[in-house]
Amino acid sequence: MTPPPLPSLLPEGVHPFPHRHLLGIAELKPWEITWLLDEAEGWIEVNRGLRKRDDRLAGLTLINAFFENSTRTLLSFEIAGKRLGADVVNMTVGASSVKKGETLLDTALTLNAMHPDMIVIRHGESGAVQLIAEKVDCPVLNAGDGRHEHPTQALLDALTIRRRKGRIEGLTVAICGDILHSRVARSNFQLLGSLGAKVRAVAPATLIGADVDRLGVDCFTDMDAGLDGADVVMMLRLQRERMSGAYVPSTREYFHFYGLTAARLAAAKPDVLVMHPGPMNRGVEIDTAVADDIARSAISEQVEMGVAVRMACLDVLTRRSRGVPGW
C-alpha cells in the first residue's frame, strides 16, 4: 500500500538540506525533515528489489566508528553504505586503540588522516559526536551520542508512521519507558513535535527526566492514561546498563505497570501502531503477543525503513563532495 504523495513543505528557493553534518534533529527545520523522508521513500523499492545496488557512492570511503556496542544500527549503516557502492569500513571499540588510552580526538584525527568521505559515529557520551565533527574534514553522521540524539532513528520512525498512517500531523504518539536515558526519545520528541504530532511521554517518575514537558510533550506516569486514544505507541528499551542506582524496583514490577500488553493496548485507538527501536526486552517492556502482532506491530518495518533512511542520509551528506549540481 503506497500512500498518495504528500505536498512538499519545502519553501520556494530554499536549499533542502543546508547542513554539513547530521548531528541531531534539533538543528533541522520541518521542511528539511520531510524532504529527507521523501528522499528515503525512493530507496524503499530499491531495497525490496532483487538487485539492491546503486553506485553513486562508488569510490567513496565510509567509516562506521562505533565507540559503543551496537549490532543492528551498525549493520544497517553498513548495508546502506554498501548498497550505495561505498567502501565501508567498521571500527568498533573492542578492536580499537581507544582501549589503549588514545584520546577521542586523537582517534578522530587518525580517522581523518585516512581521508574518509563520511564518518558515522556512535558514542556513549552526549556531545562526543559533535566534538569529533568539529575536528574532521568530512561530513559526520550521528548514530547516537549518549542520551542526547539519534537522528536517523527518529527519521526512520517518522517514515514508518507516515507510510502506515499517511500523515504525522495531528497524530497522538505515546513514547513509553526509559525516557531519562533515551536519545531515541529526545530525537523523536523534537521530530514528531515539529511535524505537528501530539507527543506524550509515559514513564515512572524516576525515568522521565527533569522538565521534559518543556520539550513540548505531555507527561504521564499512568500507562493507561498515557495510551488512551493513542495512534502510535512507541516503546523504549529499559536501559539497565545506564542505570546506577534504583530507578525501578524490579523488571517484574516494571512490566506490571509499564509493560505493553494486549489488555493495556486496548485503551489506544483500534488501529494503533506499535513500535520499538530495538533491541526488545520481551517480558520487560513489551509482551511477546503484542510485539508479534502483524496487524499492529511495525517493529520489523522500522528496521526496513532504517536502511532506506540511512541510504538517503549518506547520499545527501556526500552530495557536496561528489559535486552534485546545486550542492
Partner 1 sequence: MVIAFTNARVIDPASGRDALGSVVVRERVITSIDGDIPADARVIDCGGRIVAPGLIDAGVFTADAPACLAGGITRVVLMPDRSPPLDDPALIEFAQRIGKPHVWVHPLAAATQGLAGVELAEIGLCQEAGAVGVATGRGAIADAGVMLRLLQYASGFDLVVVTHAENAALTVGAVATAGEFATRLGLPAAPAFAEAIAVARDLRLAAATGARLHIRQVTTAESIDLVRAAKAAGTRVTCGVTPGHFLLGEQSVSGYRSFARLSPPLRHDDDRRAVLAGIADGTIDVVASGHDPRTQEDKRLPFADAAPGMVGAETLLALAGTLVRDHDMTWPALLATMTSTPAALFGLPGGRLEAGAPADLIVFDPGAPWRIDAGAMAAAAGNTPFDGLPVQGRVTMTVKGGEIAWTL
Cβ closest to partner 1, residue 41 vs residue 68: 68
Region 28-87 residues binding partner 1, contact defined as CB under 8 A: none
CA distances from 244 to 68, 75, 181, 239, 241 (A): 18, 29, 11, 11, 8
Contact segment (CB under 8 A) with partner 1 among 88-96, 145-153, 220-228, 316-324 equals 145-153
* Cβ-based neighbour number of residue 304 at 10 Å: 17
Element (H, E) at 82: helix 72-83
Question: Does 305 contact partner 1 by CB under 8 A?
Answer: no
Cβ closest to partner 1, residue 51 vs residue 214: 214
- Say what angle helices 151-165 and 30-48 make with each other, to 10 degrees: 70
Cβ closest to partner 1, residue 6 vs residue 26: 26
Question: Does 244 contact partner 1 by CB under 8 A?
Answer: yes
**Residue from 6, 89, 104, 219 that binds partner 1 (CB under 8 A)?**
104
DSSP H helical ranges for 210-250: 223-227
Instruction: Round to whole Å and give the CA distance between 281 and 292.
Output: 13
Question: Does 294 contact partner 1 by CB under 8 A?
Answer: no
CA distances from 150 to 68, 93, 120 (A): 13, 19, 12
Question: Does 131 contact partner 1 by CB under 8 A?
Answer: yes
Cβ closest to partner 1, residue 219 vs residue 225: 219
Query: Are the CB atoms for 176 and 310 separated by under 8 Å?
Result: no
Question: Does 109 contact partner 1 by CB under 8 A?
Answer: no
**Residue from 145, 157, 231, 285 that binds partner 1 (CB under 8 A)?**
145
Which residues share a beta bridge with 44? Answer: none
Q: How far is the CB of 132 from partner 1 (least distance, A)?
A: 9
Q: How far is the CB of 124 from partner 1 (least distance, A)?
A: 8
For the chain, the distance separating the N- and C-terminal CA atoms, rounded to the nearest angstrom, is 33
* Cβ-based neighbour number of residue 265 at 10 Å: 20
**Residue from 13, 18, 49, 245 that binds partner 1 (CB under 8 A)?**
245
Q: How far is the CB of 185 from partner 1 (least distance, A)?
A: 10
Query: Are the CB atoms for 135 and 103 separated by under 8 Å?
Result: no
Q: What is the DSSP letter of 128?
A: H
Q: How far is the CB of 129 from partner 1 (least distance, A)?
A: 9
Instruction: Round to whole Å and give the CA distance between 105 and 33.
Output: 30
Cβ closest to partner 1, residue 27 vs residue 45: 27
Cβ closest to partner 1, residue 130 vs residue 281: 130
Region 200-219 residues binding partner 1, contact defined as CB under 8 A: 209-212, 214-215
Kindly state the cell numbers that stand for 76: 544497517
Instruction: Round to whole Å and give the CA distance between 25 and 300.
Output: 23
Interface contacts to partner 1, rule CB under 8 A: 26, 103-105, 123, 125-128, 130-131, 145-149, 183, 186, 209-212, 214-215, 244-245
